[in-house]
Amino acid sequence: MRHILPIVLALSVGAAIGRGGEARSDESSRMPTPAPQARRDPEPATANARCERCHEDVAREWRASMHAQSDSDPVYRRALAIEPLPFCRACHAPEADSCADAPAPLSAVGVGCVTCHVTRAGPDAATLTAGASMGIAPHSVVRDPAFATPVACAACHEFDFPEGASHGAPEQMQSTVSEHATSPLSGTSCIDCHMPRTPTPRRPGHRSHVFAASRDTSTLRAAVRVRSERLSPSTVKLTLTPGDVGHAFPTGDLFRRLVVVAEAIGDDWTVIGEDSRELRRRFEVRTMASGHLGRHMVGDDRVGVGAATPVTLDLGEQARGRAIAWRLEYQRVEHPLGGDGSAAVLAGSTVVTQGLIPATLENP
């Protein structure tokens, strides 16, 4: 999952041998932020390559992450073609000018090492870390504990819809940090789940930079628990409760949703009756106080918003006497269409969990 991830190379940097020691404390306010801020490095692709050379093992993890593919991911590219907004590019290609498509070298950097760790342009640029510096790095290092908190992720994982931001009626497009703050796991940081410690002999405090999230099936399956019961010959109730997840599930952008599916099974596993429900945020386009149109959230039935999410599905009379198969799918979709984002072409689906209610268990 590329959007809910902490952006912390800090610990590995902290373990490195530095030249300049820790920099001034006033650097500490420079958390990662997308363009169009002033370029932190005049040649970010070159600078990023320098990072990769010395921190090869970390870079290998990063290259496998969605952060590295933030501007090249095909689904994002298709969405950007539909809606070529600087607003989108600012986080997906933060090292490039957001007013134009990123040149290939900067597109390849995506959300790179320099995006999160380089604090400013110029000779006094420092590398941001949350941990202690050993003072032997060939660059200056600034330490800020806040870099290990959700504050570091907020710039790209918590923001308003563009029209709301500009017309004074904000509605959040992404709200992962807020969701985290109200979750039972608010006491933990983003990195505790998404950058787990993966110690190596050389780096005992190393945290993974793969940023495993929704692309990782085990992480996905741990996020929700489902209880099923057949209410009648034709209806089934599935109750979803949060598992090991510190925010709504799914969280992040509008390109993902949970779908609860139930199927009445005929001969040879043929689907003879089907019902499903999408769990996601729902928006309406309304006139705001300023007179402009903007989105207004009118529904949110994602897991983790409230104690439990009950879903009742009706498969029709053909389900009588038949087994019912159910499953929970995590779907990634193409650019959502329509005013409320309800319609979208499926880009990928992962079965989170599934079950079968035998015909013999149906209620009278």
Q: What is the DSSP secondary structure assignment for residue 303, as one 8-state letter?
A: B
Least distance between another protein and beta carbon 296 (Å)? 8
- Does 269 help bind another protein (rule: CB under 8 A)? yes
8 Å CB contact between 193 and 148 = no
Least distance between another protein and beta carbon 342 (Å)? 8
Rank residues 27 and 275 by Cβ distance to another protein and give the closer one. 275
Rank residues 235 and 251 by Cβ distance to another protein and give the closer one. 235
Task: Identify any residues that bridge with 174 across adjacent strands, giving them in sequence order.
Answer: 159
- Does 349 help bind another protein (rule: CB under 8 A)? yes
Least distance between another protein and beta carbon 245 (Å)? 24
- Give the binding range for another protein (CB under 8 A) out of 98-106, 139-147, 219-227, 258-266: 258-266
- Does 343 help bind another protein (rule: CB under 8 A)? yes
8 Å CB contact between 64 and 43 = no
- Give the binding range for another protein (CB under 8 A) out of 44-52, 148-156, 187-195, 346-354: 346-354
Size (the chain), residues: 364
Given 46, 200, 217, 354, the residue binding another protein (CB under 8 A) = 354
- Does 263 help bind another protein (rule: CB under 8 A)? yes
DSSP string, 123-191: TT-EEEESS---SBSSSEEEE-GGGGSTHHHHHHHEEE-HHHHHHT---EEEEHHHHHHTSTTTTS-HH
**Cα of 364 vs its chain's centroid, Å:** 44
- Does 265 help bind another protein (rule: CB under 8 A)? yes
CA dist 191 and 6 (Å) reads 6
- Give the binding range for another protein (CB under 8 A) out of 29-37, 228-236, 301-309, 322-330: 322-330
Q: Report the DSSP pairing between strands 126-129 and 140-143.
A: parallel
How far lies 212's CA from each of 58, 67, 139, in Å?
A: 14, 10, 29
Rank residues 111 and 262 by Cβ distance to another protein and give the closer one. 262
8 Å CB contact between 113 and 104 = no
Given 81, 99, 231, 361, the residue binding another protein (CB under 8 A) = 81
CA dist 18 and 22 (Å) reads 9
- Give the binding range for another protein (CB under 8 A) out of 20-28, 109-117, 230-238, 291-299: 291-299
- Does 82 help bind another protein (rule: CB under 8 A)? yes
Given 182, 186, 188, 287, the residue binding another protein (CB under 8 A) = 287
Residue 154: HSE in the Cβ half-sphere, 13 Å Cα cutoff:
15
8 Å CB contact between 116 and 7 = yes
What tokens does 238 get? 């599935």
Rank residues 146 and 337 by Cβ distance to another protein and give the closer one. 337
Least distance between another protein and beta carbon 90 (Å)? 14
- Does 33 help bind another protein (rule: CB under 8 A)? no
Number of residues located near another protein, criterion CB under 8 A: 45
Which residue ranges make up the site for another protein (CB under 8 A)?
A: 81-85, 87, 162-163, 166, 261, 263, 265-272, 274, 284-287, 292-295, 318, 325-327, 334-335, 337-339, 343-346, 349, 351, 354, 356
